[in-house]
Chain A
Amino acid sequence: MLRSQVLLIVLLAALALYLFRLRTTPRDRLLYVLMVGIAVPLVLFPDASNVVAHAVGIGRGADLVFYLFIIFSLFHFATSASRIRQLERQLTQLVQDRALDAPGLPHDHGSSSA
Chain B
Amino acid sequence: MLAAPSVWIVIPALNEARTIGEVVAPLRAHGWRVLVIDDGSHDTTAAAAQAGGAVVLRHAINLGQGAGLRTGFAFVRAQPEARIVVTYDADGQHQPESVATLLGALEQSGADVALGSRFLDPAASREIPTSRRALLRLATLFTRATTGLRLTDAHNGLRALTVEAATRLRLTHNRMAHASEILSEIARLGLRYVEAPVTIRYTDYSMAKGQRPLDAIAILWDIFTAGLR
Footprint of B on A, CB under 8 Å?
81-82, 85, 88, 91-92, 95-96, 98-100, 102-108, 113-114
Contact = CB atoms under 8 A, between A and B. Distances in A.
A70 B191 CA distance: 47
B51 interface: yes
Contacts, number: 64
B60 A108 contact: no
A106 B54 contact: yes
A95 B61 CA distance: 7
B63 A95 contact: yes
B81 to A, nearest CB: 13
A92 B58 contact: no
A95 B31 contact: no
A106 B48 CA distance: 10
A96 B38 CA distance: 11
Nearest to A112: B31
Nearest to B58: A99
Given A82-B228, A92-B63, A96-B67, A105 B74 contact: no
B54 A99 contact: no
Given A82-B228, A85-B229, A99-B37, A104 B70 contact: no
B56 interface: yes
A99 B55 contact: no
A96 B53 contact: no
A96 B53 CA distance: 22
B28 interface: yes
Contacts of A105: 50, 55
Contacts of A107: 50-51, 53
A104 B71 contact: no
A106 B24 CA distance: 11
B31 A113 contact: yes
Contacts of B228: 81-82, 85
Given A85-B229, A96-B59, A107-B53, A113 B28 contact: yes
Contacts of B52: 106
Contacts of B166: none
Interface in B13-54: 28-29, 31, 34, 37, 46, 50-54
B174 interface: yes
Contacts of A113: 28-29, 31, 53
